[in-house]
């Protein structure tokens, strides 16, 4: 649609599709892009017709990080009073599951953006890394926290301290990426996973995501309590009755989101 300058947004059935579109800067995240991406995610998240969001970039780059040129001369005050990246917090806040479909570079803020999503699919060309240390800074949009949880302290520490990139295969082995596919198949594969998620009961998918997120944000005991509460509450839904009836009757369920 024409309403955005730095992203392309379209609805594909029940899937909200967002493509980062700053080819001249390898999709580097500037404040406009962060704001527009936040707005697009928030709009899809509020739309009951949307059951999954896909975030992707170009063949060459998912996103090569925060926009270094925009950031270079900022002061501490600039960065703290009006962080250019508040818009990106919409991703972690969204109830709707989000898939990152990564081809090419996912570096710095780009890797952090992928980690703000729920599923990361990678083209065999994908390259992940947190190179901030080579610029005299450190990750600032969750990299030190989410990468350590995703791949463990020691591997994350090596990546953050050296700034080196890891390829798609290594990222899959490390557990950052759920699947590696040929670059030419990435969009189709992302769409297939998104349609699978969007075909589930919306409130149930929301509950699943919220419980998954709790595992990252709380201790085990608190997370287990949260999960049990969410699980029990789903028995108030028609979709729970329908899903289990369909299983017994050996047919596909018809979810209504009720
Ligand atoms: N910012 C701005 N412009 C960029 C960026 C970037 N991150 N990455 C690439 N570009 C631009 C290049 O400057 C170049 O523009 P031009 O043609 O005008 O010179 C164009 O994109 C193409 O890039 P290259 O010519 O460099 O392409 P190569 O294929 O030679 O190299 C690389 C690709 C390896 C990806 C290289 O571009 C690179 O190293 N980019 C920077 C990667 C990086 O360091 N990212 C981390 C940024 S810092 C960050 O993300 C911190 C986030 C935390 C913020 C917290 C706030 C609270």
Tens-of-pLDDT digits for all 258 residues of the chain?
568 999 999 999 999 999 999 999 999 999 999 999 999 999 999 999 999 999 999 999 999 999 999 999 999 998 888 888 999 999 999 999 999 999 999 999 999 999 999 999 999 999 999 999 999 999 999 999 999 999 999 999 999 999 999 999 999 999 999 999 999 999 999 999 999 999 999 999 999 999 999 999 999 999 999 999 999 999 999 999 999 999 999 999 999 999
Residues in the chain, total: 258
Q: Residue 116 half-sphere exposure, CB side, CA atoms within 13 Å?
A: 28
Residues designated as active site: 66, 109, 112, 132
A 10 A CB-CB count for 33 gives 29
Full-model pTM: 0.96
Q: Are 107 and 164 in contact (CB under 8 A)?
A: no
Q: Which of 6, 20, 26, 110 to mutate to test ligand 1, by most ligand atoms within 8 A of the CB atom?
A: 26
Distance of alpha carbon 177 from alpha carbon 167, whole angstroms? 10
This complex has an ipTM of 0.97
Measured in Å, residue 66 CA sits from the centre of ligand 1 at 8
Residue of 35, 31, 8 lying closest to 19 (CA atoms): 8
* DSSP summary character for residue 182: -
Residue of 38, 12, 222, 169 lying closest to 113 (CA atoms): 38
pLDDT of residue 127: 98
18 forms bridges with which residues in the sheet? 9, 55
Q: Are 63 and 110 in contact (CB under 8 A)?
A: yes
Encoded tokens for 162? 């050296």
Pairing mode of beta strands 52-56, 61-63: unpaired
Task: Annotate 212-242 with b (16+ C-beta within 10 A) or e (fewer).
Answer: ebbeeeeeeeebeebbeebeeeeeebebbeb
Q: Which of 33, 60, 68 to mutate to test ligand 1, by most ligand atoms within 8 A of the CB atom?
A: 68
Q: Are 191 and 199 in contact (CB under 8 A)?
A: no
Report DSSP letters for 141-159, one per residue: SSHHHHHHHHH-HHHHHHH
Q: Alpha-carbon dihedral of residues 186, 192, 193, 194, nearest 10 degrees?
A: 100
């Amino acid at each position: 649609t024409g309403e955005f300058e730095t992203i392309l947004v379209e609805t594909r059935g029940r899937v909200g599709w967002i493509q980062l579109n700053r080819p001249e800067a390898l999709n580097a995240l500037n404040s406009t892009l962060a704001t527009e991406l936040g707005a697009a995610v928030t709009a899809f998240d509020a739309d009951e017709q949307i059951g999954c969001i896909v975030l992707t970039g170009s063949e060459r780059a998912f996103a090569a990080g925060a926009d270094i040129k925009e950031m270079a001369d900022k002061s501490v005050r600039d960065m703290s009073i009006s962080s250019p990246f508040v818009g990106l917090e919409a991703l972690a806040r969204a109830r709707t599951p989000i898939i990152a479909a990564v081809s090419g570079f996912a570096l710095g803020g780009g890797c952090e953006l992928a980690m703000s999503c729920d599923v990361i699919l990678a083209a065999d060309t994908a390259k992940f890394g947190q190179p901030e240390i080579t610029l005299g800074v450190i990750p600032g949009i969750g990299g030190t926290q989410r990468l350590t949880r995703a791949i463990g302290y020691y591997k994350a520490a090596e990546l953050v301290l050296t700034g080196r990139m890891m390829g798609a295969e290594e990222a899959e082995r490390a557990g950052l990426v759920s699947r590696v596919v040929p670059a030419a198949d990435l969009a189709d594969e992302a769409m297939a996973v998104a349609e699978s998620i969007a075909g589930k009961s919306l409130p149930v998918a929301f509950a699943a995501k919220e419980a998954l997120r709790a595992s990252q944000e709380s201790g085990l005991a608190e997370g287990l309590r949260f999960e049990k509460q969410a699980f029990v509450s789903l028995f108030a839904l028609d979709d729970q009755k329908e899903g289990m009836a369909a299983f017994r009757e050996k047919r596909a369920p018809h979810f209504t989101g009720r």
